[in-house]
Chain A
Amino acid sequence: MDEARILRRGLSPRLWLAGGWLLLALLAAIFAPLIAPQDPLAQDLMLERLPPFWLDGAEPGYWLGTDSLGRDLLSRLIFGGRIAFIVAFAAAASACLIGSALGLIAGYFGGWADRVISRIVDVWMAFPPVLFAILLVAVLGTGLSSVIIAIAVIDWTRFCRVIRAEAMSQARMDYVESARIAGYGRIGIMLREVLPNVLPSVVALLSLEMGIAVIVEAILSFVNLSISTDDPTWGGIIAEGRLSIHQAWWVLVFPLITLIFTVLSFSQFGEGLKARFDPVLR
């Protein structure tokens, strides 16, 4: 017990670092119009491929430089964050809701419900996820909502598998039998006894899934299947940066760093939360 407590205290810095970055990025995205130094869409061919502020030839006000059309990179990253976060929250929440509910039912009730749900999951997971996403967006048409639907439809299985396994082990606990003795019905037991014990895993997975959603959105933007090309997205900026890597490396590097930090933060934040949530466990 003491050992676990010390371990948990050691986890805190990563929770703070990851949470700090996410909060910063989220606030920047929410208040993008107030914070962004420039209009992210304003093109100015006189200002094309300005380097970041510490290099020779930088212009004040264009902190991270500009791309080949003279658009301010920092502003584009900030506005790109809006889409990244919308997708992260909406897609991860939908995947979580569908997956956790089905996983809970399969794991706790077992029997034919489990057989049917598990079979669907198996079939689902046989599709290569990125190709599946591209296919879905191609069918649904591009746009923010199709991206969100595609991610939710593909990734609910991740929640379903983990929550099913946890619910199964919970269902074997004596407190589940004890609730039957107390007169609870099956659904009451599932909600009162099983659900609270799988919640930490749900939270950790949810955070992880947000990171994954950000990546998938970036991939879809990269192959030009996300939303309209005018709005800046991280994947879109990376795709453009790739074309001018030799003339303006920063257009590729800064969005990549932003993406990596964000995705890493989501997964670390989730793990950190789970560890913090867990003090009541052995």
Chain B
Amino acid sequence: MEPCLEIRSLSAVLPNGQRVLRSVSLTVQPGEVRALVGESGAGKTMIGKAVLGVLPKSVRIVEGEMLIEGESLGRLDAKARRTLIGARTALIPQDPLTALNPSRRIGPQTTDRLVRILGWSGEKADERIRQLLQEVQIREPERVLKCYPHELSGGMRQRVLIAAAFAAEPRLIVADEPTTALDVTVQKQILRLIAQLQRNHGTALLFVTHDLGVVAKISQKVSVLYAGKVVEEAATPDLFASPQHPYTRALIAATPRYTDPYASLMPVNETVLAGLADEVAGADRAWRPSHG
């Protein structure tokens, strides 16, 4: 089967020449959830942005290819690329408050995309959003559509954004730390909703997170990132059963577990960090000559 998203050795640099993505390769099969896990500065959000074509101007892609359902984004002109990305992908953002325009009502904000990019009629878009709001278990969709973002709770706002993301039936959704700003009990509900909608709609999901706990619960595949490099890739159960890379082992050991307080919260070992630094430097040495 053709992968829904394929990234082949993607590298990106900052204006000062520093590499922020280091030959990243990964695939997301249709209907699959792939987690991208890493700490701050690992480049996980950057990959999500690259897929959606919204990298900051200062970040330049110098190598690699991205294919959405077999179509290479690099070969398309800017307009065709936007249309392809707009029609096949969607984003569930991290901060539901800043992702919504505070001065517009929920209704027009969420239908905008359907009307503008997919060329739907206003009624059809309204109908669709209403249906999705019911799917994310919002009890009074009519009332919510007329609300301004600040009138909703954090959990409600995130539900609205999930509904909006699924509304256009994208093939791939990038979820960028969608539950980081939420309380644990709300997080659980939201994760449950995302998983449920993802299954029902058969959407592939690229799930960016820093939390190995969330990775364990929601994903089937996982890529562990460090300094813009994929250090380990595995099926999620395998990753937790037998982590291969020392960094993965260290991350799992550092993640707190109330069930086992003294075997968790282990500070990451200096030798692991030194090994990582060597690995990254080695990869850069091997990479530089061919790209000057």
Contact = CB atoms under 8 A, between A and B. Distances in A.
Q: Indicate if A touches B (C-beta under 8 A).
A: yes
Interface string A1-30: 011001000000000000000000000000
**A interface: dominant SS:** helix
Nearest to B16: A2
**B interface: dominant SS:** loop
Contacts of B18: 2
B15 interface: yes
Interface residues of A, number: 3
Contacts of A6: 15-16
B118 interface: no
Nearest to B18: A2
A2 B13 CA distance: 12
Contacts of A2: 14-16, 18
A2 B18 CA distance: 10
Interface in B48-72: 58
A3 B15 CA distance: 8
A144 B182 CA distance: 63
Contacts of B14: 2-3
Interface in B1-46: 14-16, 18
A6 B58 CA distance: 11
Contacts of B16: 2, 6
A270 B160 CA distance: 46
Contacts of A3: 14-15, 58
Contacts of B15: 2-3, 6
B46 to A, nearest CB: 14
Interface of B: 14-16, 18, 58
Given A2-B15, A2-B16, A6-B16, 6 more contacts: A2-B14, A2-B18, A3-B14, A3-B15, A3-B58, A6-B15
Interface of A: 2-3, 6
9 contacts: A2-B14, A2-B15, A2-B16, A2-B18, A3-B14, A3-B15, A3-B58, A6-B15, A6-B16
**List of 8 A-B pairs having minimum Cβ-Cβ separation, nearest first:** A2-B16, A3-B58, A2-B14, A6-B15, A3-B15, A2-B15, A2-B18, A6-B16
